[in-house]
Amino acid sequence: MFTPTARRPFGVLAGLIAIVTTVLASMVSLTTMAAAEQTSFPVTISATPTTGVVDGTVININVDAQSPPNELPSQIFGVEARLCKASSVIDFSADFNPTQTGNCILNALSVNSDAKTQVVTAPPNATAALQFRAGVGSDTYESQFNGTINISCGPADPCKLVLKLQVPGATMFKSFPLTYAGGATAPGAPTGATASAGNASATVTWTAPASNGGAAITGYTVTSIPGGQTCVWTAGPLTCNVAGLTNGTPHTFTVTATNSVGTSVPSAPSNSVTPSAPPATGDLFHALTPARIVDSRPAPETVGPFATPWTAGLSRDVPVTGVGGVPVGADAVVLNVTVTGTTAGSFLTLWPKGATKPTASNLNWSAGQTIPNAVTVKLGTGGQISVFNNSGNVNVIIDVVGYYATAAGAGATLAVDGDGFTSLAPTRILDSRPAPETVGPFPTPWGPGVTRDVAVTGGTTGVPTTASAVVLNTTVTGTTAESFLTVWPKGATKPTASSLNWVANQTIPNAVTVKVGTAGSISVFNNSGNVNVIMDVVGYFENGTGDMFHPLTPARIQDSRPAPETVGAYATPWTAGTNRTVAVTGIGGVPVGATAILTNVTVTSTSAESFLTVYPTGQTKPTASSLNWKTGVTVANAVTAKVGTGGSISMFNNSGSVNVIADVAGWYGA
């Protein structure tokens, strides 16, 4: 309660009435508007300051009243105040009546404020007592023309202060626009909160709010649901690791932003992730010279147990261990799978025998297409895999190129247990198209029956000369005839296996894992017609170093097609020039800390000839491609992608519109 002012009689210069109003508001620029005034008796009202105020500014409002005609010394003086909409035309009879709804009822501006007032009278020959109700839910009154008004206005609802002065038989109103200096408010809410799970932790990334409120954001706070565990960000990339979570319990996360004015409302919750402890060990790679283990075409092409096509809805179990050099006890196998004789648009799904068939695909095709794809699949019961065809008839050809087996020493015996993997940002090492596209030693296509040797280690490849095998994204284009490409270690006998298959005029990509041969090179053979060959290296295997592989039952982590197909953060196609970040850790069984993932990426609803580049988030987009396609074609490719900032990868589409589908099949790490 403020100290009452001294009594003074009403005279030619009646008592000076000081109304002290403390502004408790966000710093916003308010529109200056004039209010209607009545001057039925001589009163002068001034206010300082009314412009350039900031939080905490005290506005002194001085009221000098002369005695109206016929006033007696005992007559009293009354004052009432309202906070009103700046753009309003005041209905003084209604808006200044606390029982009415109008422009000056504060809860029409903000549900968090209440500045309703009352007029009171003082005893004869005394100054009037003005009461303000200040603050939310407060019943405290300040008197003697002093009070605190809790102003809560924003850009959408600017305010002005309006006073009503009364003596018997006369009333006057005066408005004061409030213009804030600095123009700052609390920030908007952050967007795009995305979480990836770790061991009793999660890494959360987000996007800055569209508005910082006019003041620099000084911090973010990430909060877990449930548990309320927090992580406070102060600088660097917009990512934060929340520790202290419960393994096995699903969590979502919200993010708030803070500036010098205040803290935003929370963001929308992130995706749900479940923290888990990492596996005790992983697998190391053993490269093989490619060997055919299945060919369902009729004799003399038949290899393996099936001499007839897969029909619609058919699943078959394929023995893998004990054939093609894959030993009993292997955990996963690297295959090149080709479909041909396709009578309808369909897809093929491969998964460990004994597990539930996943909602994922490894190859997708249209009727009449011959399509290859690299598939790494975890081995199931009896060292077998299951292979399902959805529609029509299709012949299936499977070539094994390597396998993974458990590292006995969890890293301590890498030198004898196999080869670890080192992921690279995609690097182009070969392009036989004419300049300016040419990369490497060959500026002309492969002709029919041509074999060329390609160096894959040393130089600018990023692959050390000690590497045992490399992972290449291989694309053929400018194809003049139906043909196939075979890739194998230089110095070894050319196998009866294919790495890519195509028909004339197709552009086809495929991931090729190949053992390094003599002089750090591989051999590449084209069977028929002319073809340009493009190779991008994405990683290599080396004895005694690198990361172990952890196979997974395939799980879908992204599908940009509309509901009910949608999975992941994006429910709309990639348009021309679109670059999107896709979170990959903490999803589908991939933990935080994974250095690379193995995923099957499919593009569909392709409106133009284009390509997709997949690369680590936070790095410069390389001049390399992961998938290439022509208009209207659905294409799949196995993509080994290094994990970048925030446990994410980036995906760029060059032209047209395309839906992107990604199924994770495993990850690399400790």
Digit-coded pLDDT (tens) for 333-391: 999 999 999 999 999 999 999 988 988 888 888 898 888 888 989 899 999 999 999 99
What per-residue confidence (pLDDT) applies to 138? 26
Dump pLDDT digits (tens) for 248-302.
889 999 999 998 878 999 999 999 888 876 655 678 888 888 889 999 999 999 9
**513, 469 in Cβ contact below 8 A?**
yes
The CATH architecture assigned to 418-543 reads Sandwich (2.60)
| Of the candidates 203, 207, 206, 220, the residue with the CA atom closest to the CA atom of residue 264 | 220
pLDDT tens readout for residues 417-435: 578 889 888 899 999 999 9
Contact call for residues 638 and 374 (beta carbons, < 8 A): yes
Greater pLDDT, 398 or 495: 398
Describe the strand order of the beta sheet including 78-85 as a list of residue ranges: 78-85, 159-167, 170-177
Share of the chain above pLDDT 90, in %: 41
In this predicted structure, what is the pLDDT of residue 452?
Answer: 97
Spatial neighbors of 513 by CB under 8 A, at least 6 apart, are: 287, 334, 374, 401, 402, 469, 470, 471, 472
Q: In this predicted model, which residue has the larger pLDDT, 216 or 226?
A: 226
pLDDT value of residue 530:
97
The set of residues, in sequence order, having a beta carbon less than 8 Å from that of 348 and lying 6+ positions away, is: 310, 337, 339, 361, 362, 363, 387, 388, 389, 390, 394, 396
Record the pTM.
0.57
**Residue 334: closest CA among 421, 410, 398, 420:** 398
Q: What is the mean pLDDT of residues 499-509?
A: 88
Q: Can you tell me which residue has the tokens 């004061």?
A: 176
Q: Please choose, from the candidates 261, 254, 216, the residue with its C-alpha nearest in 3D space to the C-alpha of residue 234.
A: 216
> What are the tokens at 365?
């095709």
* pLDDT at res. 88: 66
**In angstroms, how far is CA 296 from the centroid of its own chain?**
43
Sequence letter at residue 13: L
Residue 74: CB atoms within 10 A of its CB come to 11
pLDDT at 662 over 90: yes
Residues 538-569: b if buried by 16+ CB within 10 A, e if exposed? bbbbbbebbbbbbbbbbbbbbbbbeeeeebbb
Instruction: State the DSSP string of 299-329.
Output: TTS-BSS--S-B-TT-EEEEE-TTSTTPPTT
- Of 575, 572, 582, nearest to 617 by C-alpha is 582
Model confidence at 43, pLDDT cuts 50, 70, 90, reads low
Length of the chain: 670
Nearest to 268 by CA among 286, 256, 284: 256
DSSP state of 3: P
* pLDDT band at residue 57 using 50, 70 and 90 as cut-offs: low
Q: Give the Cα separation of 337 and 290 in Å (integer).
A: 12
pLDDT of res. 579: 95
Cβ neighbours for 163, distance < 8 A, ≥ 6 positions apart:
19, 45, 61, 63, 79, 80, 81, 173, 174, 175, 176
Residue with token string 């002194």: 60
Class of 278-414 in CATH: mainly beta
- Which pLDDT tens digit goes with each residue over 403-412? 988 865 333 3
In the predicted structure, residue 647 carries a pLDDT above the cut 70? yes
**Residue 293 amino acid letter:** I
Q: Where are the beta strands (DSSP E) in 78-140?
A: 78-85, 117-119, 130-133
Helix (H) or strand (E) holding 92: helix 92-95
Q: How many Å apart are CA 373 and CA 603, to the nearest integer?
A: 13
More confident residue, 269 or 593: 269
Nearest to 362 by CA among 554, 610, 630: 554
CB 312 within 8 A of CB 358: no
> Bridge-partner residues for 83, per DSSP?
161
Q: Which two three-digit tokens encode residue 250?
A: 């699903």
| Contact status, residue 63 vs residue 16, Cβ threshold 8 Å | yes
Banded pLDDT at 168 (limits 50, 70, 90): low
pLDDT value of residue 432 = 97
The three state secondary structure string of 533-556 is: EEEEEEEEEEECCCEEEEEEEEEE
Mean pLDDT of 124-130: 30
Q: Are 385 and 333 in contact (CB under 8 A)?
A: yes
Could you please report the per-residue DSSP string of 35-52? -----SS-EEEEEE--EE
Q: What span, in angstroms and rounded, lies between the C-alpha atoms of 626 and 33?
A: 60
Coil/strand/helix, residue 522: strand
Residue 200 CA to residue 203 CA, distance in Å, equals: 11
Q: Name the residue type at position 553.
A: T
Of 82-86, 491-495, 532-536, the poorest mean pLDDT is in 82-86
Helix or strand or coil: residue 175? strand
Residues 50-55: what's their mean pLDDT? 53
Q: With contact defined as beta carbons under 8 Å apart, do 244 and 221 qualify?
A: no
**For residue 187, cis peptide bond before it (omega within 30 degrees of 0):** no
Residues 6+ apart with CB under 8 A from 620: none
> Which element (helix H / strand E) includes 417?
helix 414-417
Give the separation between CA 209 and CA 471, rounded to whole angstroms.
40
| Cα–Cα distance for residue pair 417/440, rounded to 1 Å | 34
Domain residue ranges in the chain: 16-180, 191-258, 278-414, 418-543, 547-670
Q: How far apart are CA 43 and CA 30, in angstroms?
A: 27
CA–CA distance, 576 with 233 (Å, rounded to integer): 34
On the question of a common fold for 191-258 and 418-543, the answer reads: no
pLDDT surpassing 70 at residue 122: no
Mean local confidence (pLDDT), 652-663 = 95
pLDDT of residue 202: 87
The top-level CATH class assigned to 191-258 is mainly beta
pLDDT at residue 61 is higher than 90: no
252-258 and 283-295 as β-strands: parallel, antiparallel, unpaired? unpaired
φ/ψ of 145, rounded to 5, equals 65, 20
Average pLDDT over residues 128-139: 28
pLDDT in tens, 227-259: 999 999 988 889 898 989 988 889 999 999 998
Range in 207-221, 441-455, 463-477, 607-621 the model is least confident about: 207-221
Q: Are 62 and 43 in contact (CB under 8 A)?
A: no
Q: How confident is the model at residue 212 (pLDDT cuts 50, 70, 90)?
A: confident
| Average pLDDT over the chain, rounded to an integer | 77
- Asked if the peptide bond before residue 305 counts as cis, ω within 30 degrees of 0, the response is no
Q: Does the pLDDT at position 214 exceed 90?
A: no
pLDDT at residue 60, rounded to an integer? 55
Tokens for 557, please give them. 């982590």
pLDDT average, residue stretch 74-82: 52
Asked, as a colleague might, if the bond just before 49 is cis with ω within 30 of 0, I would say yes
Calpha distance 618→218 (Å, rounded): 22
CATH number of 547-670: 2.60.120
Burial 114-142 (b: 16+ CB within 10 A, else e): bbbbebeebeeebbbbbbbbbbeeeeebb
Report pLDDT for 112: 28
Contact 238, 217 (CB under 8 A): no
> To which H or E segment does residue 511 belong?
strand 508-515
